Amino acid sequence: MQILDGKLVSQATKDLLAQKVTELKALGKKTPHLAAILVGNSGASETYVASKVKSCAEIGYNSTLLRFDEQISEKHLLDNIQLLNENPDIDGILVQLPLPKHINEELVINTIDPTKDVDGFHPMNVGKMVSGLPTYVPATPYGIMLMLEHYNIDTKGKHAVVIGRSHIVGTPMSILLSRNTKPGNCTVTLCHSQTKNLKELCLQADIIVAAIGRPDYVTADMVKEGAIIIDVGINRVADASKKSGFRLVGDVKFDEVAPKCSFITPVPGGVGPMTIAALLKNTYHASIGEKEHLN
């Protein structure tokens, strides 16, 4: 069993990007600039956004964090996105999800200029991704593809079971793994809350991507010997022994599943850091006016 070390791969990606930023600056070109919008004060969202902003500084990007109260009106939020759209110094815009219930998430995503949509959530970018055209690919599935590529994992012809059909992870992941790319070329089964024979399907999987948001959901009896396990879950579980009062666990019961696998991502330190590396890659491409192409 080999651990897929997201921290290590993310750092390698960030080192490369830092070098590219140094080159851009030496040529008198603009510094990549990411704007992040955070609404409310959910602990998890705060942590993710803080980590994204910190990573920008580490590799020499500029970043702007706009924080708004939970009660912000939809109009005020949309007006602020419009200002970022019109600001030529801003290359990438991300609005941390989820948003409060009174705000229409779809409208917010549709308001982001698709050329600055480094999360790859705008329907125009989703459409391009589905068509196999160069575009911004959502950061978590993109990060997973980068990790599979880094470890030179052969995915061709394998059966991948993706658990979870969110727009952020499961749906784009299923598309990327099924494409004629390397990594890619999988036969993909996309499972969700209405899937009847989930355990049977998982037992047939060469690759499982768990993105359901339920702690320890995938257990050893659901996993075939030698499977590749990608754990997207970052769940907070109460733990009085921790200063924070919680610990992070994935969607996979790591201790019992790991001995059966060929490769597995840990939580924390697996997919999480790769999401950030992928976002930074998208932002670099936004800054130089180019889109990543996975082919």
Q: Up-side HSE of residue 287: CA atoms within 13 Å toward CB?
A: 24
**Element of type H or E holding 14:** helix 6-26
Backbone angles phi, psi at 259, to 5 degrees: -65, -20
Residue nearest to ligand GUN (CB): 97
Asked if 97 touches ligand GUN (CB under 6 A), the answer is yes
Q: Which residues between 119 and 178 bind ligand GUN (CB under 6 A)?
A: 119, 139-140, 168
User: Would you count residue 231 as binding ligand GUN (CB under 6 A)?
Assistant: no
Look up 96 and say whether it is catalytic.
Answer: yes
Which residue, 140 or 174, has its beta carbon nearer to ligand GUN? 140
Contact positions with ligand GUN (CB under 6 A) in 255-294: 275
Instruction: Choose the catalytic residue: 52, 116, 128, 281.
Output: 52
Residue 52 annotated among the catalytic residues of the structure:
yes
Side by side, which strands form the sheet with 207-210? Answer: 2-3, 263-264, 228-231, 207-210, 159-163, 187-191
Q: Checking DSSP bridges between strand 246-249 and strand 235-238, what pairing results, if any? A: antiparallel
The answer to whether residue 109 forms part of the interface with ligand GUN (CB under 6 A) is no
104-121 residues labelled b (16+ CB within 10 A) or e (exposed)? eeeebbbbbbbbbbbbbb
Q: What's the min distance (Å) between Cβ of 241 and ligand GUN?
A: 27
Per-residue tokens: 126: 């989703």
With contacts defined by CB under 6 A, name the span among 2-10, 60-68, 93-101, 246-254 that binds ligand GUN. 93-101
**Amino acid at position 58, single letter:** E
Residues in the interface with ligand GUN (CB under 6 A) total: 9
Distance, in Å, from the CA atom of 32 to the CA atom of 28, rounded to the nearest integer, reads 12
Exactly one of 14, 91, 96, 206 is catalytic; name it. Answer: 96
Name residues contacting ligand GUN, limited to 49-68 (CB under 6 A).
none
Verify binding: residue 190, ligand GUN, rule CB under 6 A: no
Encoded tokens for 244 = 């924070």
DSSP state of 252: B
User: In the annotation, is 119 catalytic?
Assistant: yes
Interacting residue with ligand GUN among 10, 63, 96, 283 (CB under 6 A): 96
CB closer to ligand GUN, 11 vs 42: 42
Q: Does the protein bind ligand GUN through residue 94 (CB under 6 A)?
A: yes
State how far the Cα of 265 lies from the Cα of 16, in Å rounded to an integer. 22
Q: In whole angstroms, how close is the CB of 39 to ligand GUN at the nearest point?
A: 11
Residues 253-266: b if buried by 16+ CB within 10 A, e if exposed = bbeebbebbebbbb
Indicate the residue among 35 and 227 with the shorter CB distance to ligand GUN: 35
Tokens of 270: 């697996």
Question: Based on CB atoms, which residue is closest to ligand GUN, 109 or 205?
Answer: 109
Residue 39 engages ligand GUN in binding (rule: CB under 6 A): no
Mutual angle of helices 170-178 and 139-150, in 10-degree steps? 40
Q: Name the residues annotated as catalytic.
A: 52, 96, 119
Q: Which residues bind ligand GUN (CB under 6 A)?
A: 94-97, 119, 139-140, 168, 275
